[in-house]
Structure 1
Amino acid sequence: MLDETIYRYITEKATDIIYSVTLDRKIKFHNKAIEQIFETSVEEIEKNHYDHLMLPEDKKLAKRLHEERLNGKNSVFEHGFITPNGKLVYLECSANPIFDEDGQIVGSLGIARDITDRKKADKELKESKKQLEEIIESKDKFLSIIAHDLRDPFNTLIGYSDLILTQFESLSKEKIEKYVQAINSSSNKGFNLLQNLLDWSKAESGRITYTPEKVDISKTFDFIISSLEYSSAAKSISIKKNLDNSFIIVADENMLKTVLRNLISNAIKFSFKNSEILIDVIEEKLQYIINIIDSGIGISEENLSKIFSPDINFSQKGTKEERGTGLGLIICKEFVTKWGGRIWVESDYGKGSTFSFSIPKPKQ
């Protein structure tokens, strides 16, 4: 009798759930811990099958393990539950079959430990590991761009400026003009690449903030077109905008300029000589749609899914063998997503592409 009292005392004071389950999967016995963990009454627990609070994805496994115990097998497993108060609870369980005097299985006996905090910690650890891996990957990509892509413009700058310095007296006016044009072109490429690297670095570190204001998008287009005038003139490409001289929207002007600079620069890069690029704005009820339309080389169906992905280092050469890093479109997606819009592309390989992005109107 004393032993029974001690066992009962230990059972009731245990912080782990001690329970038994009948052949038809109902709770027959349990200690007080089950009420504390599930935050519900004894009556509520006992009137249902033990899996009525279980996560749907765990119920199939629970039924299979119960059937295995009816065949004499022990089991160790984890299940998730939603308490009547909506709290998510994870239990680590160890269950064994119960035999009567005749050796017949009459149910099962189990011990269940609350591992919710451990599961939460494991999840946070996995998320931290993933974030760390992304940071390392970003750092490696950043260093790769600095080591390779940023080196090319500087090599051109150094090479042609050295030629001008050492051979200035003997160089013809035409040669000097050619070298200066190459220096100017490389300077612009280097500056745009540095700008993208800075924007990307800010986006990756979460230091980009969206600051909407009234913007005359027509003037913004003019500014970007003017800044890319040398690149477009070098290929005799005309850039036209299909909108009024004054068109006011609400947007973050700096982020908008970055997106437009990258998309129009790409359109120039992949357009043929003597072609045309059209900038089109469509006003809808809830948003504006900006389209950058070119008649260049286009994008193959195979590559369409790669161009906005930060996980794939995708880049292709332009119509004059211009190189790129693939960074510009990733930044575009980051910024457009930041202001609540979306960006997409439609392309006919060999005939041209239309890059589009949306800017939501302010809520009234």
Structure 2
Amino acid sequence: MTCKKTAYFFLLIAMVVLVRHRVYGGETDSLQTALQSATSDSVKGLIYLQLAKRASLAEPVKGFEYLNKGLDLGASVGRIVRAELQMELGNYQRLTGDYSNAIKNILAALAIFEDRKHTYANNAEKINVRRKTANCYNNLAIAYFISGKSDEAEQMLKKALALYEQLNDDSNVSTVLNNIGELYQKRGNPKTAEEYYKKAYNIALSQNDLHLQSVLMNNFGDTNYNLGKYSRAIYFQGRALRMANDLKDVEGISYSYLALAKAYHKLFNYDSALYCGQRGLTLAKENKINYLIKDGLFILKDIHFSEGDFEKAMRYADSVIFLMDTIYTQDKNKLINQSQLQYELGRQQSQIELLEKESIINNQKLVNAELNKNIVYTILAAVIIIASMLFYYWRERQIQNDKLSYKNQVLDAKNKELKMLNDTKDKLFSIISHDLRAPLSALKNVLDLVDFNLLSPSDFTQLATDVRKNLKNILYTLNNLLEWSYSQIKTGDTINPEVNDLKEIIQETIFFYEEVARQKEIDIIANISDKALAKADKNHLRFVLRNLLNNAIKFSYPRSEVLIEAVTLPDNRVEIAVKDKGAGIEDTVKEQLFSPSVRSAKGTAGEQGTGLGLLLCKDFIEKNGGEISVDSEVGKGTTFKIILWHQ
């Protein structure tokens, strides 16, 4: 989630800063009074530490001054207090952008906390030091992460994770797991990132941490997007959006809308992509969330390019450039303020010496200032000219590349669409010309024989049985054809997911096919847990189970058995398996089993199908955020597996 996740990474620090700022004014006076009456260096060191913590970002220059005074007291303040002073100094330096010195001071504090030769007064003190050690690891990880050292950040995060786990600090454990997932996501390893996200999500569920759950839903969506699973990405981002709405998390709502826009764009659903992109961008602008404004402008630019509306696309591209200029100016002002802060600290520390040489230094400052000003103006003018030329060249190249990329994408999409339409046409003609026409023609011939009294009673009885069987096949084929046609026409229809009792639905499905199984002397065995639940559209689930059970009976040998199982998986999902001991599927057929062009084989008793059933099964399962797979061996049987969310 880019900046959103980084912001979450620093949430704890931000909360501490806020609290310190509120209490700073009220408690500082009493601490100053206590400092004047303190007689031992250890007490003074503690007071300086508290004064620095209360100053925080409210008066950072004062904070630095308190910390340096505490450290100037030397070893007499005590090893633990000295370590805390160094760790706090490192945090101050990190916040002002001095990452090198920040890492140096936090490492010095860590060396003291990790000193195994030290003996503790009691177990409570030992636990407190271990917690501070974990905090050091976490703070180091933040400094490494921001300064671009992801390997070092990962090492520190894993050390912090191990200590938090030993301390049973679940809240920090889930946060660190999420941050490790972030590192792997940035390295382009979404599968490993997803493993850490799942661990963090299970803890967040147990802790009822709704905000972290919302962030992790976004993470799951981003992971699936990076893996090219855009439908699943939409499913997770939709859940994140609902959670963010419940929490009134404006940043989370805006991020989720923009993530949905990217996924819809990949699926060529431009209307939904535009709607979500505009909603996300509007919220980001209303709340001045710069990084989301930038993302939203980029996304809407890409969508309009894909639609061929180049004028709107260029307007959004120009808005991105203007926003980046604004952010650059703000960042430049921050750097100036940080430089001013460092200068102020140095000035205070050397004030006495500067007073003794005031006249000489002032003259030198005037000369240096004039010289520096000329140098800065010259360099700045050169940088602006070069940057303008480079930017103009880059922008022209980018526009040409975007146009070429868009044309290639349109061609690829059209080719895929034409192939799918051709496969669909062939499938429909095959069904109408063979699967429906042939049995109906046979039925007409039988009726003609009846009209001319050319059938004996025994012949009529035999033919009536065959006709009934053909009519059943025709009805089954028509049902699948109608379901399939409806799904093609209603591509934008909404689903109604609900938590279903699998035992109830599977027993209902078995009852529906008991007579068909009995005719082939096939036993249907169900092994369903009482607590097996699945979140999905009920009608979709019924259709899928009926098709899979019908296929299992159709391709099973007479006097065999079909097994239906449902087990709950440990990662909040459920697996449904339909197994038969029938003819099996060849590998070449299995690879195209869910394709519109596949042709259904005849069953062991000559039953005929269309192949549409499995195509619909895959479509319905994926619309409900699940997966479907097949495992088969020729002559030994076939197993279809469905994985859905438990709730």
Q: TM-score band, normalised by the shorter chain?
A: 0.5 to 0.7
C-alpha distance after superposition, 1:83-129 (max 9, x if no partner): xxxxxx6739xxxxxxxxxxxxxxxxxxxx74634653553354245
RMSD: 3.5
Aligned position for 2:613: 328
Provide the secondary structure at the position in 2 that maps to 1:158.
helix
The TM-score, its normalising length taken from structure 1, stands at 0.63
C-alpha distance after superposition, 1:39-88 (max 9, x if no partner): 489837847997xx9xxxxxxxxxxxxxxxxxxxxxxxxx9x6xxxxxxx
Partner AA of 1:321 in structure 2? G
For 1:1-364, what aligned pairs fall within 5 Å after superposition? Answer: 39=321, 43=383, 46=386, 91=397, 114=400, 116-117=402-403, 119-120=405-406, 123-124=409-410, 126-163=412-449, 166-167=452-453, 170-172=456-458, 175-205=459-489, 206-243=491-528, 248-285=533-570, 286-310=572-596, 312-362=597-647
Task: Return closer, same or farther for 1:294/1:49 CA change in 2, 3 Å cut-off.
Answer: farther
Please tell me whether the aligned partners of residues 532 and 568 of structure 2 are also in contact (alpha carbons under 8 angstroms). Answer: no
Rounded Cα–Cα distance in structure 2 between residues aligned with 1:266 and 1:121: 43
Cα shift at 1:324 = 2.7
Provide the secondary structure at the position in 1 that maps to 2:518.
helix
Rounded Cα–Cα distance in structure 2 between residues aligned with 1:227 and 1:139: 32
Cα shift at 1:350 = 0.9
In the alignment of these two chains, the number of paired residues is 270
Provide the secondary structure at the position in 2 that maps to 1:318.
coil
Cα shift at 1:149 = 1.3
Rounded Cα–Cα distance in structure 2 between residues aligned with 1:38 and 1:229: 63
Rounded Cα–Cα distance in structure 1 between residues aligned with 2:495 and 2:609: 27
Rounded Cα–Cα distance in structure 1 between residues aligned with 2:560 and 2:582: 8
Provide the secondary structure at the position in 2 that maps to 1:148.
helix
Cα shift at 1:133 = 4.2
Rounded Cα–Cα distance in structure 1 between residues aligned with 2:613 and 2:396: 44
Rounded Cα–Cα distance in structure 1 between residues aligned with 2:540 and 2:442: 30
Unaligned runs of 5+ in 2: 1-317, 326-381
Task: Return closer, same or farther for 1:134/1:168 CA change in 2, 3 Å cut-off.
Answer: same
Larger Rg: 2
Partner AA of 2:485 in structure 1? S
Please tell me whether the aligned partners of residues 626 and 645 of structure 2 are also in contact (alpha carbons under 8 angstroms). Answer: yes
Greater strand share, 1 or 2? Answer: 1
Rounded Cα–Cα distance in structure 1 between residues aligned with 2:626 and 2:533: 18
Provide the secondary structure at the position in 1 that maps to 2:601.
coil
Partner AA of 2:383 in structure 1? E
Provide the secondary structure at the position in 1 that maps to 2:397.
strand
C-alpha distance after superposition, 1:279-315 (max 9, x if no partner): 11111132111111111111223332121233x4243
Aligned position for 2:63: none
Partner AA of 1:142 in structure 2? L
Task: Return closer, same or farther for 1:301/1:169 CA change in 2, 3 Å cut-off.
Answer: closer
Cα shift at 1:146 = 1.4
Cα shift at 1:241 = 1.2
Please tell me whether the aligned partners of residues 532 and 566 of structure 2 are also in contact (alpha carbons under 8 angstroms). Answer: no
Rounded Cα–Cα distance in structure 2 between residues aligned with 1:359 and 1:233: 30
Cα shift at 1:242 = 1.2
Rounded Cα–Cα distance in structure 1 between residues aligned with 2:515 and 2:444: 20
Cα shift at 1:132 = 4.2
C-alpha distance after superposition, 1:225-265 (max 9, x if no partner): 33333432221112121125785543212111211121111
Provide the secondary structure at the position in 2 that maps to 1:345.
strand
4+ long deviations beyond 6 Å: 47-50
C-alpha distance after superposition, 1:300-334 (max 9, x if no partner): 23332121233x42432221233332222111111
C-alpha distance after superposition, 1:119-148 (max 9, x if no partner): 535533542453244234313322321122
Please tell me whether the aligned partners of residues 345 and 355 of structure 1 are also in contact (alpha carbons under 8 angstroms). Answer: yes
Task: Return closer, same or farther for 1:122/1:335 CA change in 2, 3 Å cut-off.
Answer: same
Task: Return closer, same or farther for 1:251/1:123 CA change in 2, 3 Å cut-off.
Answer: closer
Please tell me whether the aligned partners of residues 202 and 208 of structure 1 are also in contact (alpha carbons under 8 angstroms). Answer: no
Rounded Cα–Cα distance in structure 1 between residues aligned with 2:476 and 2:546: 9
Task: Return closer, same or farther for 1:44/1:307 CA change in 2, 3 Å cut-off.
Answer: farther
Greater helix share, 1 or 2? Answer: 2
Rounded Cα–Cα distance in structure 1 between residues aligned with 2:560 and 2:552: 11
Please tell me whether the aligned partners of residues 306 and 314 of structure 1 are also in contact (alpha carbons under 8 angstroms). Answer: no
Cα shift at 1:204 = 2.6
Please tell me whether the aligned partners of residues 533 and 646 of structure 2 are also in contact (alpha carbons under 8 angstroms). Answer: no
Task: Return closer, same or farther for 1:352/1:162 CA change in 2, 3 Å cut-off.
Answer: same
Provide the secondary structure at the position in 2 that maps to 1:255.
helix
Task: Return closer, same or farther for 1:184/1:44 CA change in 2, 3 Å cut-off.
Answer: farther
The TM-score, its normalising length taken from structure 2, stands at 0.37
Rounded Cα–Cα distance in structure 1 between residues aligned with 2:450 and 2:515: 21
Rounded Cα–Cα distance in structure 1 between residues aligned with 2:408 and 2:478: 39
Cα shift at 1:357 = 0.8
Unaligned runs of 5+ in 1: 1-35, 54-78, 82-88, 93-112
Please tell me whether the aligned partners of residues 534 and 645 of structure 2 are also in contact (alpha carbons under 8 angstroms). Answer: no
